[in-house]
Structure 1
Amino acid sequence: MYLKNIIKNPNIIVGDYTIYNDLKNNPKNFERNNVLYHYPINNDKLMIGKFCSIACGAKFIFNSANHTLSSLSTYPFPIFFEEWELDVKNITNAWDNKRDIVIGNDVWIGYEVVIMAGVTIGDGDIIGTGAVVTKDIPPYTIVGGIPVKPIRKRFKQETIDILLKIKWWNWSDEKIYKHILDIQNGNIENLI
């Protein structure tokens, strides 16, 4: 299913042709089942590029899932502002606020991957099944594990540099159709 067609939350931005497949739940429930602790009060965003493939059970864990580490207690007192006579405008002090989650273009996110708040995933990355992403990943890197560690680069650096320069995912549909076999077969010289 094209994910862009089912997203209603304005703080979730999905690029064209990005797909999501769910073998356990209705993929139309992506926002509820896969984007967790994403409360409007934080104004944090999930930004997913074009031509990404997201496997079943991938989870995006946002700031509100965290408990603050700067307090002497991890208990989220600000959430219960009325009971503790705290100011409601300080509710976000209950957790450590990180950045948005940003997923590049042409990224493959494997089965039941967990991506934490504040992470940027580069264009062309592959994230292995069951991985937990806690830090940024540079473009065209294959990663896996808990927490993720680089396994290897997908291509030689000169090929990565060309792909990042031409950004084929921003081409018109007509130009992509014209070069689809070159893209599929790795004929980088025909894309320059």
Structure 2
Amino acid sequence: MTFQRILSRLKKYPLKDYIAGFLFSGKFDRKGVLVYSDGRPYPKIIHKGGTLVAGNCQFYSGVRLEIGKNGRLEIGNGSYLNRNTLIICEKRVDIGRNCKIAWDVVIMDSDLHPLNSEPLVNKPVFIEDNVWIGCRSIILKGVTIGEGAVVAAGSVVTKSIPPYTIWGGAPAKFIAHINAPKDDVAATPAQAIYE
């Protein structure tokens, strides 16, 4: 990395964020540059032996990641987890590139406890690239959220969401289609809506 690139990155985020990100990143099995910002409480990882992989992503205060002994949590480049996001991964949770996850979002691949002595059921959660998840949404086990999809604030997602659609409500229901970006333009979902 050249000296100019290092300086430009340091101008973008305060040095304390890089130091906190470096300390936080020690719990990851494979990682890029993790930038932590926004003060206390610091992000927390409860790592019970599973695999935790992250690209160049950002974590805000209060983020909590819980990975079970057989779990695998992957977070792609350019994604961020905003304040108080909780991810519980007993089997597998994949978050794609450039995903924007708002405050107080809960993502779980498990019900966390069995009912009536039935075995615990875990189903993977896949969040594809360029997904936006609104504040206080809940993403439940076995869900795939397609590329470029938007989940409205306060939604409870109980079934898979197709790419380039907007869903909202409890349980989440289809609201609208989003125009897929043209091949030559890397549009965000918001840009695609207004084209």
State TM-score, norm by structure 2. 0.57
The residue type equivalent to 1:50 in the other structure is R
CA distance in 2, matches of 1:108, 1:120: 13
Counterpart among 110, 114, 118 of residue 138 in structure 2: 114
1:61, distance to aligned residue in structure 2 (A): 1.8
Aligned residue pairs total 131
Counterpart among 19, 32, 49 of residue 80 in structure 2: 19
In the alignment, what sits opposite 1:35? 87
1:20, distance to aligned residue in structure 2 (A): 1.7
In the alignment, what sits opposite 1:51? 98
CA distance in 2, matches of 1:141, 1:110: 14
The residue type equivalent to 2:176 in the other structure is R
Higher relative contact order (CA 8 A, sep 6+): 1
Q: Does 1:150 align with 2:174?
A: yes
Counterpart among 89, 112, 116 of residue 75 in structure 1: 116
Structure 1, unaligned stretches of length 5 or more?
Answer: 68-73, 77-92, 169-178, 187-192
CA RMSD for the aligned pairs?
3.1
Secondary structure (helix, strand or coil) at the match of 1:94 reads coil
Query: Which of structure 1's runs of 4+ aligned residues deviate more than 4 A?
Result: 1-4, 6-9, 182-186
1:107, distance to aligned residue in structure 2 (A): 0.4
Counterpart among 110, 126, 148 of residue 63 in structure 1: 110
Structure with the higher helix share, 1 or 2: 1
In the alignment, what sits opposite 1:96? 121
1:185, distance to aligned residue in structure 2 (A): 5.7
1:35, distance to aligned residue in structure 2 (A): 1.4
CA contact (8 A) 2:111 2:141 kept: no
CA distance in 2, matches of 1:128, 1:185: 16
CA distance in 2, matches of 1:64, 1:144: 22
1:153, distance to aligned residue in structure 2 (A): 0.3
CA contact (8 A) 2:147 2:164 kept: yes
> How high is the sequence identity, in percent, across the aligned residues?
30
Structure 2, unaligned stretches of length 5 or more?
Answer: 1-16, 26-30, 37-44, 53-71
Counterpart among 148, 168, 184 of residue 124 in structure 1: 148
CA distance in 2, matches of 1:151, 1:66: 32
Structure with the higher strand share, 1 or 2: 2
